[in-house]
Structure 1
Amino acid sequence: MQPKHYDITIIGAGVSSVFLAYTLMKQNEHVSIHMVDIGKELSERVCGLDQGKECTCKGQCCKYIGFAGLGKSEGKFNYTNDFGGELGRKIGKQSTLELMREVDEILCEFGGDVIPSYSTRNEVLSDRAAKVGLKVLSTEVRHLGTRLANEVFQKMYEVLKKQVSFSFETTIDTISKHEDGFHIQSDNEKFTTGKVVIGTGMSGSAWLKKQTESLGLHPGETRLDLGIRVEMKGNQLHSILQDTFETKLKIERETFSATTYCMNPRGRIIRKHQHGVVMPDGQNAREEDTPSANLNFSLFVPSYFPSHDQAMDYAVNIIGGINQGRERIVVQRLEDFQFNRKTTSLQENSVGPSLNGECGSVREEVPELYGMALEEFLACVEDLIGERVHPDTLLYGLDAKFYEPKLPTKENFETEVSNLYLIGDCSGETHSLSQAAASGIYLGKYLGKYLGNENAKN
């Protein structure tokens, strides 16, 4: 019996892959598409972390893998070239913005328009910030929130099922190149395919490394962002947030650059589990029935390592040391941090912690670079808002944002192995839902046109 054959096999069912498959369907109704993911379909992606409890998953966590990938978490789509990846540098900034507009149109087509989009652009604030040494990064935002994101992607799934065949809870064991395309062996089946698109995101880094090495592909440098998460009085930044839901600020010095990430007015801090370590993560006020009175964000400092292994070893060593073999996250008052003394109690603290961390010394447990960046950043913020950052502000160590190592790809995302493509975060070009989705649309149009021409010839 001959194995099944597909025109295109997409490995990974995250955001980039979903938008790729949808675009392919629109471009060519006859192309056969197979999508494989190690996780579950969206309706079965249930984890205790979704209710603020401990992870209840067997194997990899359903919060991060499965249909829609990280798109189901908060569904925050930032439409900008200022941050979130380097897609603009690869295919052109204007093309990237146009593709992100298409991303938004598709989200709205499936019900995302019930949440209005908003802009963080503020020219007056940008001018003020520049005078104190800060840059304001701007974006258009469609923030779906977890419930709506799940509804939108579930509707997309129902449409995709009409033309796409899915294999969930399936691991691809081998990908081998042959003259007629690729032979693929999974733990469930064996099949052939003309083209392979990998969109496994951050969660599939170990698997991707194994597969690309077997195909003769070797990644280059890897980016890693680490930083302290800050929780302050909810009105502390009112003067710069009053016209926008979130403001992203950047500070640049000779020895570092640092950018605020995941700013959550009235949000809470929760535990984030990734790569075997536990970190403080921000949860938006829209995700909670009882929003907090605080504001939280992380200040990330990017670093670059020669390999993915070195980046991961560095992060896991530091954060794992803080965790101490459990879910420990250290928290320290800003004033204690500034005077280099341990925080021993938060009972009388005017900023009530939204996360039950362990009092201690962030300064002692976090590398000096990240504390120095935060101090210089907060000094600029004080100049910007015209007041002192409250001494009861809380600092949590240590948050991280992981990236995939970069593998060389052409403008169309094709690797050095013909007919093998990388999209989304695993390409190393995108670091956000919007740019990942845009990369999927971009490749979908290219492959749809290519396959259309091939079919015309036949």
Structure 2
Amino acid sequence: MTKKDYDVIIIGAGPTGIFTAMELIKKDAGLNILILEKGTDLKKRICPMKENPGKGCVNCKSCAIVSGWGGAGAYSDGKLSLSPDIGGNLEKYIGRQALTDNIAYADDIYMEFGAPDRVFGVPKDQQNEIRKKAVKAKLKFIPARLRHLGTGYSQVVLQNMQDYLEEHGVEIRFNTNVKEFIVEKEKIKAVKTADGKIIKAKFVMAAAGRENAEWLTDQAKTLGIETAINPVDIGVRVECPAAITEYLTDNLYETKLIYHTPTFDDKVRTFCMSPYGEVVSENNQGLITVNGHSHSDIKTHNTNFALLVSKTFTEPFHQPITYGKDIAKLANLLAGGVLVQRLGDLLDGRRTTDERLERSITEPTLKDATPGDLSLVLPHRHLTGIIEMLKALDELAPGLYSRDTLLYGVEVKFYSSRLSVKNNLESKVDNLYFGGDGAGITRGLMQASVSGIVIARSIMKKENIK
């Protein structure tokens, strides 16, 4: 039998929501906690495209790849960055030392629930070698240690966490979509679900994830909560033979490189490297975009990673999420989903065909991507930046700027509006908190997890729980 009133309602069962509940339980706060998740239980998160390869996306009501227990992280690469320099803006709220300490604390919890003990990274002498090569190519190298779970391990860890929370009295309701917050006299009182149910709580924490960033922004504006425009990241997923990038991936696994393009001085960055991985498609509220995964037990002969062009818009334009979605819509219109093109065909100004794709030495791992022409989708400025970045990367990974390198489009990161919150991540509405990627505060699993810890500790402080 479910309750009607709770001490804490958590919206979203991604890392922020999970770690908010985890910290409250581990510190024995004695609070009634409800997690509301629009997706399904982890065991039921089955993508029809995986079950029936080649049939394409069937536009599920809630995409199993990005929604459900664990959030988008459940089917991601499971990369836990152990550096405060990567993964978000939390340092601006809690300070560098607190962020560093909480990353270590959260990492211990991941280990407790089954994360593998291998940490990727290289000694400083090797870092210096890579940095020197990067500098010569006009690339900025950001060294970082990371723990890699892999898609398989991620799901084991997340299932262990769900079991633990449920055993300790946390109620979880799946397939439950929250539509709005109910506020009285600048204080949160309840949430209203899509089916009209009103659930009361003293505290509400919303971590809606990237997929629901636009909904969260709309809700914030309704409540008079200010938002700041973050850069919108739009680009492609690059795929090449794994041998080409081994120098960058065998020890580092995830190589963070930033480039400022000579033509437009735009920032282009590498993101989410997936050594020996596969390119996958995702359904973001009806939009098919591209991503990449590496599995803990399945290896391919390819490596893939994103190249993202970051743009910050100025007045009067204030709809970067809409801008990114419209570019994704254009790719969907032309390709029926994800579009793939050989770099050589892009440089020659012609579309890739099935015949040309078959001649490529890089065998595509996303089999239902449609061969086509990215120049009909991405703005000239973005494509120019991507091509210039690939030229620079070729100095670190010779062979990457090859005619047979594959480019999939588009990859878009929907975390464009940063909600105004205090240092404890509480909004101007009393007892209403925002955290994670969807609030524009974090950009990765580890900082998203830490934001949940910060919120839980603030709740306990308000309740005089030590």
> 1 CA distance for matches of 2:12 and 2:179?
14
Residue 25 of structure 1 aligns to which amino acid in structure 2?
I
Identity %, equivalent residues: 29
Give SS of 2:312's match.
strand
1:158 aligns with 2:174: no
1:312 aligns with 2:318: no
> 2 CA distance for matches of 1:228 and 1:382?
17
1:262 aligns with 2:272: yes
> What corresponds to 2:132 in structure 1?
127
Give SS of 1:414's match.
coil
> 1:404, CA displacement in angstroms?
4.6
Q: Which moved more, 1:241-250 or 1:46-55?
A: 46-55
Residue 169 of structure 1 aligns to which amino acid in structure 2?
N
Residue number among 143, 164, 175 corresponding to 1:138 in the alignment = 143
Question: What are structure 2's unaligned runs of at least 5 residues?
Answer: none
Residue 279 of structure 2 aligns to which amino acid in structure 1?
I
Mapped contact 1:120–1:245 kept (Cα < 8 A): no
Give SS of 1:395's match.
strand
> What corresponds to 1:105 in structure 2?
108
> What corresponds to 2:375 in structure 1?
363
Residue 40 of structure 1 aligns to which amino acid in structure 2?
T
- Residue deviations 1:282-341, cap 9 Å, x none? 2215363xx332222121011234699722332232222222276343333222322333
> What corresponds to 2:72 in structure 1?
70
1:81 aligns with 2:89: no
Mapped contact 2:149–2:296 kept (Cα < 8 A): no
> What corresponds to 1:46 in structure 2?
46
> 1 CA distance for matches of 2:276 and 2:52?
17
Give SS of 2:282's match.
strand
| 1:21-420 to 2 correspondences below 5 Å | 21-51=21-51, 53=53, 54-55=56-57, 58-74=60-76, 75-113=78-116, 115-119=117-121, 122-161=127-166, 162-178=168-184, 181-186=188-193, 187=195, 189-253=197-261, 255-286=265-296, 288=298, 291-305=299-313, 310-324=319-333, 327-344=336-353, 345-356=356-367, 357-385=369-397, 389-420=401-432
Mapped contact 2:84–2:91 kept (Cα < 8 A): yes
Mapped contact 2:63–2:285 kept (Cα < 8 A): no
* TM-score in terms of structure 1 length: 0.89
* TM-score in terms of structure 2 length: 0.87
Structure 1 residues 78 and 49: alpha-carbon distance in aligned structure 2, compared to 1, 3 A threshold: farther
> 1 CA distance for matches of 2:382 and 2:105?
37
Mapped contact 2:16–2:450 kept (Cα < 8 A): yes
- Alpha carbon RMSD of aligned pairs, Å? 2.7
Structure 1 residues 286 and 190: alpha-carbon distance in aligned structure 2, compared to 1, 3 A threshold: same
> 1 CA distance for matches of 2:206 and 2:5?
17
> 1:224, CA displacement in angstroms?
1.7
> 1:414, CA displacement in angstroms?
0.9
> 1:110, CA displacement in angstroms?
1.0
> 1:214, CA displacement in angstroms?
3.6
Structure 1 residues 176 and 343: alpha-carbon distance in aligned structure 2, compared to 1, 3 A threshold: closer
Structure 1 residues 242 and 165: alpha-carbon distance in aligned structure 2, compared to 1, 3 A threshold: closer
Mapped contact 1:181–1:195 kept (Cα < 8 A): yes
> 1:83, CA displacement in angstroms?
2.7
Structure 1 residues 380 and 450: alpha-carbon distance in aligned structure 2, compared to 1, 3 A threshold: same
Structure 1 residues 413 and 350: alpha-carbon distance in aligned structure 2, compared to 1, 3 A threshold: same
> 1 CA distance for matches of 2:244 and 2:119?
25
> 2 CA distance for matches of 1:380 and 1:116?
30
Q: Which moved more, 1:195-204 or 1:302-311?
A: 302-311
- Residue deviations 1:262-288, cap 9 Å, x none? 222222222222232223322215363
> 1:226, CA displacement in angstroms?
0.8
Structure 1 residues 183 and 358: alpha-carbon distance in aligned structure 2, compared to 1, 3 A threshold: closer
| 1:409-448 to 2 correspondences below 5 Å | 409-448=421-460
> What corresponds to 2:4 in structure 1?
4
> 1 CA distance for matches of 2:225 and 2:326?
27
> 1 CA distance for matches of 2:224 and 2:398?
56
Mapped contact 2:29–2:460 kept (Cα < 8 A): no
> 2 CA distance for matches of 1:227 and 1:43?
32
> 2 CA distance for matches of 1:43 and 1:169?
14
- Residue deviations 1:43-99, cap 9 Å, x none? 332222455744567411122222221221132212223332111222112221211
Question: What are structure 1's unaligned runs of at least 5 residues?
Answer: none
> 1:432, CA displacement in angstroms?
0.5
Structure 1 residues 295 and 448: alpha-carbon distance in aligned structure 2, compared to 1, 3 A threshold: same
